[in-house]
Structure 1
Amino acid sequence: MQDANGSRFALVLGRQDWGQCRLDAAAWPGQPLLDTLWSDEAESEAAPLAFDAAQASIGLAQRVSRFVPAKGDVAPSTAQRLGAAADANGNIYAIVDGGSRITVRNAGTGRVSTFWPVSTPAPTPEPGAFAPAEPAEPPSPQHFAGLAVTRAHYLVVGVKPVSTPRSGFLVFDLLAGGPPLPLSWPLPWVMSPLDMAARPCGGLAVLDRIGHRVWLLNRRLGMEAVFPVSPLAAHTPPDFQASDGASGADGAGGAPHTPSATPHQPWFTLQTTALGGGHPVAIEVLPDGGVLVLDEAGADGFALVSLYVGGVLQAQASASDVLRVTPVQDRPGLSLRGFDFAFHADGPGSIQRKPPRLVLVSTEGNQAYVFELLWDAAQPHTLQLAAQAGYLPLKRYGGLQLVSRGLAQVEGDTGLLYASEANWLPLVAQRRPRHVPEAALLTVPFDGGDPGCVWHRVMLDACIPAGCRVQVASRWSDDAALLPDLPFTDEPTPLLRPNGSELPWLIEGPGATTDAARGHGTWELLLQGARGRWLQLRLTLQGNELSTPRITTLRAWRPRFSYLQHYLPASYREDAASADFLERFLANFEGQFTALEDRIATARALFDVRSAPADTLDWLAGWLGLVLDPALDEARRRQLIRHAMPLYQYRGTPQALRLAVQLALSPCVPDADFALPARSQEAPRGVRLVEGYLTRSLPPALLGETVVTPDDAPRVVTPGARWTLNEGAEGLHRRWRDWRIARGLAKGADTATRFSPLPPADVPAGTLAAWTAFCQITLGAVPTLASDLDTAWRRWVATGQDAGLGLPLPARWPQSNAAQQSAWRKFIAQLDPLLLRQLRRWQAAVARRHVRIGLYQRDTASTWPAFDVLPPPTELPSNPAALADWALFETRVAPIAARAHRFSVLLPISGPDTDADTVARQVDHARRVVALAKPAHTAFDVKPYWALLRIGQVRLGLDTLLGLGSREPDIAPALVLGSGHVGSARLGAKPAVPNDRILLEC
């Protein structure tokens, strides 16, 4: 890139460019940073400079602060490492008192109480009642070890054998309550649980201290084979055999072939290798089902992590990498032995996809260490624990296991809790960084292209906080071979540009945003005397150990455009000293003027959404007639402008509506989704549009809802076959008569009862409700048009403008009375618009069936002269053609029209992770977006995802949710009074035995 004056710049940007630079230190003479920072063969002493991938910047390396235990410091007790876990509500369960008791810390009150066993006083027998002659023996004491909460909301506690060889589990249902379910371990196997971890399938992985193995249980807590084999495989003969009875690949004779069965066992044995693996202390399960086992120490004295996939040892990694991020003076005596470990949970603020991270607690119990778990499934035996810089002290840690409380909420939070005496504290990295105080790097030589090139300026997109500085020195030559032997010349201290970057219309990133208070922005210095084809810079980064300068980009401009040469007379250049000063003095103005000229020359960048600055996006959208929602972030604004044309072409369609809402709410919308047309419901997740005509409604009676006499008793309603046109009008009359007799509304001799399209008067009581229920079940719909039109006609007759037609609605056309004909047409013309539209729909449906009025008159023996004056029948027609017209309209046309042009927008909002205010805000935002993008004649509503399954209305196959069923954590969160939603959460059930154990508040 060149500016308006033809100057260009040499660029250092990104990990690869900074990696080509060299450290100006005796420890690494002449070695590029790539060889010292990222090479597997790097020196044991950590480099003083580090590259931050999140900010794409280079700065002073951070070291791990070591908490040196004082004299008399007590290490955490392994006797307390018996098990701890948290449920979905945040209640923490722990095994204490040497394994004899389970406590719980209530998430609502913070109180710690005994969860199990619960002592209940013996009931006092009533006088005269039978009672045991001898008091019952107290139950034998149980020793607990190992505890976990499964995805299905079961608390599973391991029971170690004490007086008997039988071990097993106690299973507590945390949703329904009740006493625990004891599960005994089947003999002759013996199992002594040391640690347990929940599996993503809903089951458990159990670390067995006796058998030195790991047992796998499925979500029903049944044993799961590690090496599954079909029972038929061991007994099925091979498909091909030799004709002479021989078997084998070579055709040699011998006994018939018997395939050997694969071992079918519900465990895998832990392996011991040259790295170690003989002292397991903890276990974790990866999201893909892999099992991690922590050994206290490997062969090198550091904690060892082993990875098992499918019961097979894939790789092992030592925690010795912690030496790489530990200061040299703190390394003597450091031996990181593992006490416990857990997963580090990245919160919603994480800006990039990071590898899984483990938090490892040392046996000293004073601090924890964070490691990135690096493993490539395509390359076995490549497991690596990459130590991360950070200070995570533990205050008075006693030895209970780390507990995960969910995603991290703030920067530095691990999402874990640890037990500090009687309290549970969050494990958070303390803001006490320890950076290298100073380091210097040498850039690669920059080529100016011409001998005697005058190098102009150096620009640094950087963050230089208070107390830190960056010092620049330069050396130059026309011969690259002479450059390493030349001394460096110090340049002026860089200054922060008040107007940001010198590049025109630059889309500023994290390292280029001007923030003078924090030192963010573009820092500039004017090179004083650099003249030569080759230029090399030395950057010295200085900090106060608490903070560090961070440099994102370096730009070295050349050649300098000389105002002295181009715009001033030659007399100003006669004296060399004054000319040199004037040259540098005018270069300051040139830097300001050139920035303005560049913006003018590159104004075309404003019309490209990729290069337009953020503050010009509203102006650019105005060219397309777009009004950007202020709630949209910059990335989604650019995406909306870039794909405005396909959205305009498909505006009002389900695909465009779904995209508009998804663009407003989703943090990431792939560009491939804008390739329209596409199926609106192709994605299994995301925003869903449910059009009304796709749904089906069930009558309340089919759902067990009473329609006559409400009571609390459950009802079982068995629906019969619906009425069909083959039964005729008499069949419908007979069904209605039987329906009334079954409900005590008529007697068997009441044969005059006939079904009417008009709702009957509610005499006797319950007749109207029975008629409505009968229509719903027998017809599938409740006729409304005749009733509404009859009501309107009665009001018209009361005004005296009916010209003698009278009540009820006319069933035949008054052929000889012109006044009555005119009165009927006036009545239709003055109808309410909604009722008139329903009447026109009826007339249009009849017209489509009979085409011409003459054919209609012939088929129905009717005298109506035109379709536009035809009313619906108020009595059930006996003519087959007229009966079919009425039935098809009321059961097909009217229900479809009632749901036409209506749709629901379902938002992917999950109940457990979203509070009520967030839900309301997202629903309101989506409603505004849909109101702008929908067709004008449609009506809609916006609902969260939990409205997918509605009682009486469902799209089977599209909205059916599978998984753990009613125990799925995302479907059944705990209902919180005042903030929960009925239908989106679950109320806890009462236990069968009220005093069996304590129920926790939510």
Structure 2
Amino acid sequence: MDIQGSQFHLLNGPADWGACIDTALDLPLREAGAIEPTPELSRPDSAWEYDSGRDWLRLRRDTARFQQALRTDPLTPDARRGAGRDRYGTWYWIDTDRRTIRHREQGSRAASTWWTIDDLHLHCSCVTLAGGRFGSVTSCPPDPARLVGLTVTTRHYLVVGYDGPDGSGLFVFDLHAGGRPERVTFGAAPFAPWDLADLPDGGVLVLDREHGSYWQLDKDFRVAGQENARVGSFADLAADGALTVRSYRTEPSTPGWALANADGDPIHPVSIEPGPDDTVLVLESDPATGYSIVSCFDHDALIWVRPLRDIIEVIDLDDPDHVSRRISLFAHDFAYLTAGSTRPLESPLLYLADAQGDQVVAFALDPATGELVARDDFLPLRRWAARGLVRADSTLWYDFGERWIEVGVFTECRFAGTATLVTALPAGGLPGEPFDSQLPGCVWHRLLLDALVPSGTSIQIEARAADQVEVLTAQPWLAQPAPLLRGGGSELPWADPWRDQRDPQNPAAALPDGLGTVELLFQHVVGRYLQLRITLAGGGRASAAIRSLRAWFPRFSYVQHYLPAVFAENDRAETFLERMLANPEGVLTTLEEKIEHSHLLLDARTARDVDLDWLGRWFALVLDPAWAVDRRRFLIEHVDAFYRRRGTPAGLIGMLRVLFDPQITATDVFRIRRVPATYSRIRLVESFLTRGPGLDHVRQAAHRFVLQVPRCFEAGQADLANRIVEQSKPAHTAFTLELYDSTFVVDSARLGLDTELGDSRQFTPIVLDRTPVAAGYLSATWPFDITDRLVSDRDRLPEGPPL
């Protein structure tokens, strides 16, 4: 309630907006999928969309479909040849001749040949023996016809498949040790590699497209299998009580795990990826069907199947009418990024590369059911060479000629053209329910919206009111004036509804164009109950957005309160005088509200960010604009505690902790002892407390202290700490600033106060021209820095009696 006695009804947040009715579907927004899209409504027909990241309601953002004008030949599965990146940023891929592996090192301006099939015969020592004489015999290397599929494992092995007249198998290159590849064969089992994918544990998935199966190899390239437990063997107890043990078949004689659909018929996959919860995702793209199918397997057990028929609703960027249509997705390749990845989008997400439009479509995946919810982010692939999508460095990459670049989100968006909603009808009879004034004949006053109205967009408001709910639905809609942007911000005293949109380093900076609070004065809206109809319109390139809505009632009449009754008697036609005096009323009421609530400015918890500097000057505090807002609020809120401790060790260290510690609480800021090192990085040591010989040491150490800061401070932070202590310490004291590297000195350091026992993070491997000598150590050189290999002369067997 404001100072004039007016109140407001509020719509704010997904719960309130979800109760509004989409007029096109005659459904609440929450049931139309506009608030939280569900798998059943992955692309709802509703033209509304609630952006939870910004907490506002806007027009639905459509998925744009990019048409590659330069491509003349359609993408075929044969274009996929496999690629991977090692831990040092070097890319490897199979060349067009399928006999050569190309590579491009990080920072290199051109690619080069890394290995070819012809290299197999360079060191061949085969001999032909005649006359039955004895001699050494070595087997000739295989003569593969082509290379098929490539990946780089997390343990830094490059694995590439091959097939030829001598059979099929895998070549394994140790990227640490170098040298010739090791060959992995599969015995008499049918095997024809097609696609390879690395596993998080260092293993490899191998897709056999020809035989409709896949193989799983562990980090030591043993083929995973399963057999029943024997009596007396160690085993794991499964969920159903059965005893099973994992085994590895070094010489497999049976095919890999078969890939079949729900009817038991074999499928024709084109790509394989590790899925969630140790499952395997398989992509099937059959041109005869026109859409792809994603299947999830646990070994040979089918978990779920998800056809990509009519899966996304897209628009053509060149369509001036931005008419959307639902299409099926025919994918050329896919990739699954697990939780923790932030590029190109927050994961876990399933990315599928469209074979028709040279773009990637991202889907949120339900691991249990396989339900896919399409994201509306536009992820184009510019001049894609179609070797495939590659997971590397927790993000997604694609090939651009002989370069590899990250998949990125294109910033230009397309939105629905228009959408209309109406607020929910009051049920009648319940006090305080939305848009019930509980006043018969109530004159509704103003409507204010915290909204974004970019250029080319608009918000249109219509209203109707009545004293009975049954009559309300029969009333005609009355068009209201276009809402105008308020110059003074929100009408709520000292409130900032756009705090999250401001620059934290400069909260006084102006908001972006079109962002703010807009208002209109209700025209001829009289009755106890109110209903609003809101329409958002735009040209497709942008969308207006509404964060919150406030409908004020009843109108405080200047005519009735401040003018003689004769003016009210003669103001019946269109109530011109009433509406005219509402303009100064709106200005004066806002000023009176700010005066009435001026106490909010004097509380650090409620003051606006822009007013903190002003509030700090009341206490002779000069706040650095570079300090975070929460730190400035904490400093002002506890200014009395700082002044009571001014010049004391607790006061000095408390001031520094407010600025530099990762988290701050009133309990720990002023605590000198027993502060966990993982919490506070600032230490103050009074010199007289250190061990020294006799009273002479105490006299020399009196009024002296040492300020200790970690070397990991950013540039300028140590100097800032030095200036703060210099200005805040008592004038008769002296101090020195030390870094952690020089703190542990016998007879000077105090265990548990300014030092601690544990793993040190202060010393790192030395980087030339970057690391101070005293802050680093020389790391082991290759091959002694390899942690996942046995290295001769480093990893020794324990000494013992001779065998």
Matched residue, 1:548 = 543
Which structure would you say has the larger Rg?
A: 1
Matched residue, 2:415 = 435
| Counterpart pick for 1:358 among 350, 353, 360 | 350
- Determine whether 1:97 maps to 2:77: no
Matched residue, 1:877 = none
Matched residue, 2:526 = 531
Alpha-carbon offset, residue 398 of structure 1: 2.7
CA distance in 2, matches of 1:692, 1:189: 72
- The one-letter code matched in structure 2 to 1:394 is L
* Secondary structure of the corresponding residue to residue 759 of structure 2: coil
Paired residues of 1:360 and 1:369 also in contact (CA < 8 A): yes
Matched residue, 1:779 = none
* Secondary structure of the corresponding residue to residue 377 of structure 2: strand
Matched residue, 2:788 = none
* Secondary structure of the corresponding residue to residue 93 of structure 2: strand
Q: 1:311-332 CA distances to partner (integer Å, 9 max, x unpaired)? A: 9765554445733456896646
- Determine whether 1:78 maps to 2:77: yes
Matched residue, 1:126 = none
- The one-letter code matched in structure 2 to 1:594 is T
- The one-letter code matched in structure 2 to 1:472 is I
CA distance in 2, matches of 1:313, 1:145: 26
| Structure 1 unmatched runs, 5+ | 124-135, 239-257, 376-380, 408-414, 694-833, 848-867, 869-896, 910-918, 948-953, 962-969, 992-1002
Alpha-carbon offset, residue 113 of structure 1: 0.8
Paired residues of 1:167 and 1:190 also in contact (CA < 8 A): no
1:327-476 alignment, distance < 5 Å: 331=325, 334-343=328-337, 354-364=346-356, 366-375=358-367, 381-404=368-391, 406=393, 415-445=395-425, 446-476=435-465
* Secondary structure of the corresponding residue to residue 552 of structure 2: strand
Alpha-carbon offset, residue 567 of structure 1: 1.1
Q: 1:9-66 CA distances to partner (integer Å, 9 max, x unpaired)? A: 11111111111111222xx125444444246455975211111111111111121222
- The one-letter code matched in structure 2 to 1:144 is L
1:508-907 alignment, distance < 5 Å: 508-509=497-498, 518-577=513-572, 580-621=575-616, 628-638=623-633, 664=660, 666=662, 680-681=675-676, 683=678, 841-843=692-694, 903=708, 905=710, 907=712
| Counterpart pick for 1:264 among 234, 247, 258 | 247
Matched residue, 2:789 = none
Paired residues of 2:442 and 2:553 also in contact (CA < 8 A): yes
Matched residue, 2:182 = 182
| Counterpart pick for 2:491 among 497, 502, 506 | 502
Paired residues of 1:491 and 1:528 also in contact (CA < 8 A): yes
Matched residue, 1:29 = 26
Paired residues of 1:455 and 1:530 also in contact (CA < 8 A): yes
Matched residue, 1:148 = 151
| Structure 2 unmatched runs, 5+ | 124-138, 317-321, 426-434, 503-508, 745-750, 785-803
* Secondary structure of the corresponding residue to residue 375 of structure 2: strand
Matched residue, 1:274 = 262
Q: 1:531-575 CA distances to partner (integer Å, 9 max, x unpaired)? A: 111111111111011001011111111111111111111121121
| Counterpart pick for 2:759 among 941, 951, 959 | 959
Paired residues of 1:687 and 1:905 also in contact (CA < 8 A): no
Q: What is the identity percentage for the equivalent residue pairs of Structure 1 and Structure 2?
A: 30
Does the C-alpha gap of structure 1 residues 52 and 214 become closer, same or farther in structure 2, counting only changes over 3 Å? Answer: farther
Matched residue, 2:135 = none
CA distance in 2, matches of 1:662, 1:349: 33
Matched residue, 1:217 = 218
Paired residues of 2:42 and 2:374 also in contact (CA < 8 A): no
TM-score of the pair, normalised by structure 2: 0.74
| Counterpart pick for 1:160 among 159, 162, 183 | 162
- The one-letter code matched in structure 1 to 2:589 is T
- The one-letter code matched in structure 1 to 2:245 is T
TM-score of the pair, normalised by structure 1: 0.61
Alpha-carbon offset, residue 495 of structure 1: 0.6
Q: 1:143-169 CA distances to partner (integer Å, 9 max, x unpaired)? A: 4333334445x1422233434446234
Matched residue, 1:706 = none
- The one-letter code matched in structure 1 to 2:164 is V
Does the C-alpha gap of structure 1 residues 227 and 293 become closer, same or farther in structure 2, counting only changes over 3 Å? Answer: same
Q: 1:722-765 CA distances to partner (integer Å, 9 max, x unpaired)? A: xxxxxxxxxxxxxxxxxxxxxxxxxxxxxxxxxxxxxxxxxxxx
- The one-letter code matched in structure 2 to 1:528 is Q
Structure with bigger helix share is: 1
* Secondary structure of the corresponding residue to residue 564 of structure 1: helix
Does the C-alpha gap of structure 1 residues 138 and 169 become closer, same or farther in structure 2, counting only changes over 3 Å? Answer: closer
Paired residues of 1:511 and 1:520 also in contact (CA < 8 A): no
Structure with bigger strand share is: 2
- The one-letter code matched in structure 2 to 1:65 is A
CA distance in 2, matches of 1:50, 1:30: 14
Does the C-alpha gap of structure 1 residues 627 and 212 become closer, same or farther in structure 2, counting only changes over 3 Å? Answer: farther
Alpha-carbon offset, residue 494 of structure 1: 0.8
* Secondary structure of the corresponding residue to residue 472 of structure 2: helix
* Secondary structure of the corresponding residue to residue 584 of structure 1: helix
Matched residue, 2:480 = 491
CA distance in 1, matches of 2:411, 2:72: 24
Paired residues of 2:685 and 2:706 also in contact (CA < 8 A): yes
CA distance in 2, matches of 1:600, 1:843: 65
- The one-letter code matched in structure 2 to 1:631 is A
CA distance in 2, matches of 1:680, 1:207: 55
* Secondary structure of the corresponding residue to residue 589 of structure 1: helix
Q: 1:831-883 CA distances to partner (integer Å, 9 max, x unpaired)? A: xxx9xx99993345999xxxxxxxxxxxxxxxxxxxx9xxxxxxxxxxxxxxx
CA distance in 1, matches of 2:673, 2:299: 40
Does the C-alpha gap of structure 1 residues 632 and 904 become closer, same or farther in structure 2, counting only changes over 3 Å? Answer: closer
CA distance in 2, matches of 1:358, 1:422: 25
Alpha-carbon offset, residue 466 of structure 1: 0.6
* Secondary structure of the corresponding residue to residue 536 of structure 2: strand
Alpha-carbon offset, residue 171 of structure 1: 2.6
Question: After alignment, is 530-539 or 201-210 more displaced?
Answer: 201-210
Does the C-alpha gap of structure 1 residues 302 and 140 become closer, same or farther in structure 2, counting only changes over 3 Å? Answer: closer
Q: How many residues align?
A: 717
Does the C-alpha gap of structure 1 residues 138 and 166 become closer, same or farther in structure 2, counting only changes over 3 Å? Answer: closer
CA distance in 2, matches of 1:466, 1:216: 57
* Secondary structure of the corresponding residue to residue 262 of structure 1: strand
Matched residue, 1:113 = 112
Does the C-alpha gap of structure 1 residues 842 and 957 become closer, same or farther in structure 2, counting only changes over 3 Å? Answer: closer
Does the C-alpha gap of structure 1 residues 505 and 956 become closer, same or farther in structure 2, counting only changes over 3 Å? Answer: closer
Paired residues of 2:337 and 2:349 also in contact (CA < 8 A): yes
Matched residue, 1:3 = 2
- The one-letter code matched in structure 1 to 2:490 is S
CA distance in 2, matches of 1:336, 1:634: 49
* Secondary structure of the corresponding residue to residue 398 of structure 2: strand
Alpha-carbon offset, residue 106 of structure 1: 3.2
CA distance in 2, matches of 1:628, 1:163: 77
Does the C-alpha gap of structure 1 residues 11 and 421 become closer, same or farther in structure 2, counting only changes over 3 Å? Answer: same
Paired residues of 1:301 and 1:337 also in contact (CA < 8 A): no
- The one-letter code matched in structure 1 to 2:175 is D
CA distance in 2, matches of 1:840, 1:942: 20
CA distance in 1, matches of 2:5, 2:584: 16
CA distance in 2, matches of 1:181, 1:671: 62
Paired residues of 2:260 and 2:302 also in contact (CA < 8 A): no
CA distance in 2, matches of 1:840, 1:61: 70
